[in-house]
Chain A
Amino acid sequence: MACRKFERWISDDMDNRLSDKMRAALRKHLKECERCRSYQENLKILQAEAQKPGEVAVRAEFLEDLGRRLEKALYSGPASGSEKAARLGGRWKWAWAGVAVFVLALAGGAFLLLRPKTPPDLWPASYEDSLALILGEIGEDADLAESFDQVLEASIGEALFEAEYPMFWEDLDEDEIRLMELDIENGREI
């Protein structure tokens, strides 16, 4: 868990995104953790290598020709036929979107009307009730109490870690979400 967090901090540190407090905590961890030190050194080599000028060669004539092509294209203007086709395509898109919204609304209404009613006694208990239930189960058992404390501390730690990067997934696209799912399925960290 700790190394997982620090790996991300190492990346953020390379992009000058860490607060002073986080940077100090990272330095402290790096002094103690050989694995993270190696990881950081590898990333530094990667960074230096990636920042070297690219080697895709482009002939000067190619660039001159590009300039001429661009000027010619700008002066000749856009083709009106393709624009018209694009506009018509846009209208059809809106029509299909309207149909989709209507179907969704219909399905939503049907679901609300037809869904089975849940008996009130099956609703989950409140947080306080659940806690009272667990504490009752633990009773005088010291081992069980200690295990429960550890679970609580771990979940608090997890919540604090996530809070430093709130909602990082909010803009992920489908590919990235699929990658995260694969990571979870394969037991890898995300």
Chain B
Amino acid sequence: MEAFTALAGLYQERIFRTILGFTRNPEDAGDLTQETFMAAFKSLNSFRQGARFYTWIYRIAVNSTLNFLKKKGREKNRTEFKKDVDSLSLPGSPPNSPEGESLRNELGRRLDEAVSGLPLPFRSSFILVVHEGMSHADAAGVLGCSENTISWRMHKARKLLQQKLKPYLDEVRHGLP
């Protein structure tokens, strides 16, 4: 028990931050972190000798989080990711001016919203590959699918995000030196 508690102490913050990347809500992320370590403790006998503890617990954390998000039904209205950009209003300032900097900040905020609005399979692949810096092979291992599926999901996620944020991206691009 002491050894497990020590390991939990070592990894809890990294696991918490990973989960937070999915939920964007510290309270939910805290509960899920606790649930992850409890689930890991209960199934310690399924932990293979020679496997990395962090990889194992990371997989439990991601799967618990995905189940939580599915159960909460948050994805119900998100699967039909709207392509329209009518709601986007661009500030009329050149991107390399101080106002341009605020355009970039606005892009960051909008991107955050758009990623949160992606259908769950696309979002989970995007977070693991782009935010967590995983290879397609590693992300496939965590999500239990093939590398080709991750590749397709990444392509679709990027394409949807590009369509959603095109006015901002074009504006930023034209302001680049």
From known contacts A39-B162, A74-B41, A179-B119, infer whether A165 and B34 are also in contact, taking CB-CB under 8 Å. no
Q: Which of A12, A14, A55, A66 sits near B34, CB closer than 8 Å?
A: A66
Which A124-160 residues have C-beta < 8 A from chain B?
none
Query: Among the listed stretches B45-53, B56-64, B86-94, B164-172, which one makes contact with chain A, having 4 or more residues with CB under 8 Å of it?
Result: B164-172
| A-B contacts, CB under 8 A, total | 144
Chain B's interface size range is 35 or more
How many chain A residues touch B (CB < 8 A): the figure is 49
Question: CB-nearest residue of chain B relative to A173?
Answer: B121
Q: Which of A12, A41, A66 sits near B30, CB closer than 8 Å?
A: A66
Which B115-140 residues have C-beta < 8 A from chain A?
115, 119-122, 126, 129-131, 135-136
Whether a CB of chain B sits under 8 angstroms from the CB of A94 is no
Q: Is the CB of A51 within 8 A of B119?
A: no
Whether a CB of chain A sits under 8 angstroms from the CB of B96 is no
From known contacts A11-B151, A50-B130, infer whether A175 and B26 are also in contact, taking CB-CB under 8 Å. no
From known contacts A42-B170, A70-B37, A71-B5, infer whether A168 and B149 are also in contact, taking CB-CB under 8 Å. yes
Q: Is the CB of B136 within 8 A of A70?
A: no
Q: Is the CB of B161 within 8 A of A165?
A: no
Which A32-62 residues have C-beta < 8 A from chain B?
38-39, 41-43, 45-47, 49-52, 54-56, 58, 62
Q: How far is the CB of B69 from chain A (nearest CB, A)?
A: 12
Whether a CB of chain B sits under 8 angstroms from the CB of A106 is no
Whether a CB of chain B sits under 8 angstroms from the CB of A69 is yes
Q: What is the CA–CA distance of A58 and B24 in the complex, to the nearest angstrom?
A: 11
- DSSP majority for the B interface? helix
Q: Is the CB of A165 within 8 A of B173?
A: no
Q: How far is the CB of A56 from chain B (nearest CB, A)?
A: 6
Q: What is the CA–CA distance of A110 and B156 in the complex, to the nearest angstrom?
A: 42
Q: How far is the CB of A66 from chain B (nearest CB, A)?
A: 5
Q: What is the CA–CA distance of A55 and B173 in the complex, to the nearest angstrom?
A: 23
A residues within 8 A CB of B165?
46
Q: Is the CB of B12 within 8 A of A70?
A: yes
B residues within 8 A CB of A62?
26, 30
Q: Is the CB of A50 within 8 A of B111?
A: yes
Q: Is the CB of B149 within 8 A of A63?
A: no
Q: Which of B16, B121, B146, B172 sits near A63, CB closer than 8 Å?
A: B16
Chain B interface (Cβ < 8 Å from any Cβ of A): 1, 4-5, 8-9, 12-13, 16, 20-21, 24, 26, 30, 33-34, 37-38, 41-42, 75, 79-80, 104, 107-108, 111-112, 115, 119-122, 126, 129-131, 135-136, 144-149, 151-156, 158-159, 161-162, 165-166, 169-170, 172-173
Q: List 6 A-B contacts (CB under 8 A).
A: A12-B154, A15-B154, A46-B158, A49-B111, A50-B115, A54-B20
